[in-house]
């Protein structure tokens, strides 16, 4: 797997070298109505609620070996995150493991990462494969796909005309933000967003190997 990652990264670097660029090149989402700080604060609250709910159900996995594995991989990837989003150096990164058969993982705005034991156990992932998946999820956060989705949801809820006259986003209710943050985790990303996150994840995994 590591050989494949390096080979693919080398191919990307070769293509971009011809245009004077280093690494893969992707664009952030353009629909960013909400300030990044508002989105990150809302995501932090939502993440905290998810972790507290998991703890209450005795599903917040504390397996030291599994957690250290995820933390180690995250430490390898995070230093390269600023290549795609300079604000990532200020994020308060966090990684948790939830006991669940769900074959899933996510990274919320601001660097809040969660893996479910189902994806590790069912697929018997190697470290390189975990790094690729984690890099992909981090890619969504770096490219601000969640922020764009929250902005889109707010537009649907309050209307374009209302959003156009909003000079102070303090008018946005906590309930609307919570709904938008929840959808940012639960709804599927667009195909282009998934493809861009793949590219970012591939480079993060290769550089962190």
As a whole number of Å, the end-to-end CA separation of the chain is: 11
82: its two tokens: 């600023």
Q: Residues 189, 144: contact at Cβ < 8 Å?
A: no
Angle among Cα 30, 31, 37 to the nearest 5 degrees reads: 100
Residue numbers annotated as active site: 137
Sign of the torsion angle spanned by Cα atoms 9, 206, 119, 78: negative
Nearest-angstrom CA–CA distance, 139 and 119? 18
Nearest-angstrom CA–CA distance, 22 and 34? 30
């Amino acid at each position: 797997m590591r050989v494949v990652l390096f080979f693919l990264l080398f191919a990307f670097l070769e293509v971009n070298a011809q245009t004077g660029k280093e690494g893969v090149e992707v664009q952030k989402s353009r629909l960013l109505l909400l300030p990044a700080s508002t989105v990150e604060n809302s995501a932090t609250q939502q993440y905290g609620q998810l972790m507290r709910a998991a703890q209450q159900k005795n599903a917040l996995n504390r397996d030291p070996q599994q957690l250290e594995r995820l933390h180690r991989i995250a430490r390898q990837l995070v230093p390269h995150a600023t290549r795609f989003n300079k604000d990532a150096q200020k994020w308060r990164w966090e990684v948790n493991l939830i006991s669940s058969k769900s074959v899933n993982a996510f990274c919320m705005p601001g660097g809040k990462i969660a893996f479910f034991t189902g994806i590790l156990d069912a697929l018997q992932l190697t470290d390189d494969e975990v790094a690729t998946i984690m890099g992909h999820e981090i890619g969504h956060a770096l490219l601000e796909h969640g922020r764009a989705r929250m902005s889109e949801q707010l537009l649907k809820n309050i209307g374009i005309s209302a959003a156009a006259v909003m000079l102070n986003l303090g008018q946005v209710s906590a309930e609307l933000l919570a709904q938008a943050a929840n959808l940012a985790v639960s709804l599927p990303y667009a195909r282009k967003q998934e493809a861009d996150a793949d590219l970012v994840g591939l480079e993060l995994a290769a550089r962190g190997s």
